């Protein structure tokens, strides 16, 4: 690890100045950023520790929206019994992430901005990685092991998977991200925060230099209560998703009035499966229509040699998640 300057601002304005002037990395729980520094992937000249900005902690369940501070700890949000009832997909996706120790330390702002787990990105012994070293190539696409890479949203420059769980629940329910930076405050639809790799996989979000995520809001809709996050992975604990789905449904009798489907473990960014949603609206939700929605969700997938299994697994996960969500809807069985 190289030497770096440590800043510990006590208010947002000082934090923005410190990040902008130092060009350093923002430090929240540190479970991504310190990890990457230890393995030599990140070598920031400065770290701006924002954990002293206590105004950014906490979360609230409002009548119209759920509000999460960027420094709320994953564990405290995942274990809130009122939120478990109000928005199960949001708590389940946190609860199924990482380990209890990590969830106690990691914050929600850091969680949505976590970096890929592509082994070639994380191992500097591999010279080829367009995300770590733009223009160097892609070791995964150049004959690497691709069993945990993306089958949706990839490019000829990068197929790294977005690894987080909570983001799928956020994109499914039209969350918004609130930021404050040198240019002032702004609100970004969560669906616009992450960008596809294209030719510049090193650019992962639309955040500008010095821009700090202050919070996240989620509008309250009936489908939030009848929601579920289903995660398939190599082992039942402490593993990233091989395929996952955050879903929610609102039923009108036997007919689907509203449905949300987002996919994890399979795409380069948090991924909303809108065509699959459209296939269900106004129709009954049965094992058969759920399976068809799962199939449609992966209709545009481009699998690599190692990742072909994700298409069937992902479709099954979508179908299973939908049936659980339906069972949570009023009158659902
Ligand atoms: C062994 C292991 C297993 C894991 N398994 C899972 C899993 O199964 N599912 C899952 O979802 N995650 C998993 N994770 C990832 C973990 O959830 C994230 O590392 C964590 O949520 C990041 O939060 P943090 O507060 O530690 O962020 P940090 O490491 O402090 O920051 C992460 C990134 O966000 C930036 N950042 C942080 N806060 C802000 C802010 N407010 N504004 C702007 N930029 C900011 C930082 O500069 C950095 O680039 C795992 C991590 C480990 C180490
Ligand atoms: S998939 Fe992306 S992160 Fe992985 S080696 Fe290729 S360029 Fe790097």
**DSSP, residue by residue, 83-122:** HHHH-HHHHHHHHTSS-HHHHHH-BHHHHHTPPP--HHHH
SS3 129: strand
pTM here is 0.97
In a domain, 322, yes or no: yes
Asked if the model's pLDDT at residue 130 lies above 90, the reply is: yes
Buried b (16+ CB within 10 A) or exposed e, 244-263: bbbbbbbbeeeebebbbbbb
- Which pLDDT does position 333 carry in this prediction? 63
Q: What are the tens digits of pLDDT across the range 217-266?
A: 999 999 999 999 999 999 888 899 999 999 999 999 999 999 999 999 99
Which residues sit with their C-beta closer than 6 Å to ligand 2?
116, 118, 120-121, 129-131, 138-141, 158-160, 201
- Cβ-based neighbour number of residue 134 at 10 Å: 13
For residue 165, which of 288, 63, 266 has the smallest C-alpha distance? 266
CB contact at 8 A, 60 and 66: yes
| Domain contains 44 | yes
In a domain, 14, yes or no: yes
CA of 32 to the centre of ligand 2 (A): 17
Which residues, listed in sequence order, are joined to residue 227 by a DSSP beta bridge? 248
How remote is the C-alpha of 26 from its chain's centroid?
A: 18
Ligand 2 centroid, distance to 286 Cα (angstroms)? 39
Alpha carbon of residue 198 to chain centroid: 19
| Least distant ligand from the CA of 265 | 1
Q: Kindly report the backbone phi and psi dihedral angles of residue 327, in degrees, each rounded to the nearest multiple of 5, phi listed first.
A: -65, -15
Running DSSP on this structure, what letter comes out for residue 67? E
pLDDT digits (tens, 9 = 90+) for 149-181: 999 999 999 999 999 999 999 999 999 999 999
Within-domain flag for 58: no
Q: Name the closest-CA residue to atom 20, ligand 1.
A: 111
On the question of pLDDT at 332 being above 80, the answer is: no
Q: Is residue 96 part of a domain?
A: no
Q: How far is the CA of 288 from the centre of ligand 1 (A)?
A: 37
| Structural contact between residues 207 and 26, judged by C-beta atoms closer than 8 angstroms | no
- The closest of 321, 164, 154 to 240, measured between CA atoms, is 164
| 238 CA from centroid of ligand 1 (Å) | 14
Query: Residue 232 belongs to a domain with what CATH number?
Result: 3.30.390.50
DSSP code for 133: S
Q: How far is the CA of 144 from the centre of ligand 2 (A)?
A: 10
Q: What is the pLDDT of residues 3-43, one digit of tens each?
A: 999 999 999 999 999 999 999 999 999 999 999 999 999 99
Within a domain: 62: no
Domain with 287 in it? 222-328
- pLDDT of res. 304: 87
Ligand 2 center from residue 143 Cα (angstroms): 12
In angstroms, what is the span from residue 267 Cα to ligand 2's centroid? 13
Where does ligand 1 bind, in terms of residues with CB under 6 Å? 25-33, 35, 50, 70, 97-98, 102, 106-107, 109-111, 113-114, 164-166, 212-213, 240
Domain contains 106: no
Q: Which two tokens stand for residue 45?
A: 């000249």
Q: Is residue 166 part of a domain?
A: no
SS (H, E, C) 62-75: CCCEEEEECCCEHH
Query: pLDDT tens digits, residue range 41-67?
Result: 999 999 999 999 999 999 999 999 999
> Probe ligand 2: pick from 140, 141, 147, 268, max atoms within 8 Å of CB?
140
By the 8 A CB rule, do 325 and 318 touch? Answer: no
Q: How many domains does the chain have?
A: 2
Q: Whose CA is nearest to atom 47 of ligand 1?
A: 26
Residue nearest to atom 3 of ligand 1 (CA): 98
Choose which residue among 31, 69, 236 to substitute to test ligand 1 binding: the one with the highest number of ligand atoms within 8 A of its C-beta: 31
* % of the chain at pLDDT higher than 90: 96
Measured from the CA of 137, which atom of ligand 2 is nearest?
7
Contact between 255 and 282 under an 8 Å Cβ cutoff? The reply is: yes
CATH of the domain at 33: 3.30.43.10
What is the rounded CA–CA span in Å between residue 136 and residue 162? Answer: 20
Determine the residue of 39, 116, 267 to mutate for testing ligand 2's pocket, defined as the one with the most ligand atoms within 8 A of the Cβ atom: 116
């Amino acid at each position: 690890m190289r030497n770096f300057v440590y800043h510990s601002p006590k208010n947002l304005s000082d934090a923005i100045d410190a990040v902008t002037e130092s060009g350093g990395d923002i430090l929240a729980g540190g479970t991504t950023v310190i990890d990457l520094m230890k393995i030599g992937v990140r070598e920031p000249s400065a770290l701006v520790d924002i954990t002293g900005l206590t105004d950014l902690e906490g979360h609230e369940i409002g009548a119209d929206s759920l509000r999460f501070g960027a420094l709320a700890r994953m564990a405290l949000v995942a274990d809130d019994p009122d939120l478990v009832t109000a928005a199960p997909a949001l708590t389940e996706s946190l609860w199924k992430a990482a380990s209890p120790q990590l969830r106690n330390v990691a914050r929600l702002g850091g969680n949505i901005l976590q970096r890929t787990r592509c082994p070639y990105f994380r191992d500097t012994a591999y010279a080829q990685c367009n995300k770590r070293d733009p223009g160097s190539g892609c070791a995964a696409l150049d004959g690497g092991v691709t069993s945990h890479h993306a089958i949706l949203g990839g490019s000829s420059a990068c197929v790294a998977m977005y690894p987080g769980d909570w983001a799928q629940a956020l994109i499914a329910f039209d969350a918004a991200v609130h930021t404050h930076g040198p240019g002032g405050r702004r609100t970004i639809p969560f669906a616009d925060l992450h960008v596809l790799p294209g030719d510049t996989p090193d650019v992962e979000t639309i955040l500008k230099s010095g821009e700090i995520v202050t919070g996240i809001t989620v509008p309250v809709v009936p489908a939030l209560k009848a929601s579920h996050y289903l995660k398939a992975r190599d082992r039942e604990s402490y593993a990233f998703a091989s395929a996952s789905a955050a879903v929610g449904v609102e039923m009108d009798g036997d007919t689907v009035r509203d449905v949300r489907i987002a996919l994890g473990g399979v795409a380069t960014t948090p991924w909303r499966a809108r065509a699959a949603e459209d296939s269900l609206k106004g129709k009954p939700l049965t094992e058969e229509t759920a399976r068809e929605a799962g199939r449609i969700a992966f209709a545009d997938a481009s699998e690599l040699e190692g990742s072909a299994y994700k298409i069937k697994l992902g479709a099954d996960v979508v179908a299973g998640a939908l049936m659980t969500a339906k069972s949570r809807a009023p009158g659902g069985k």
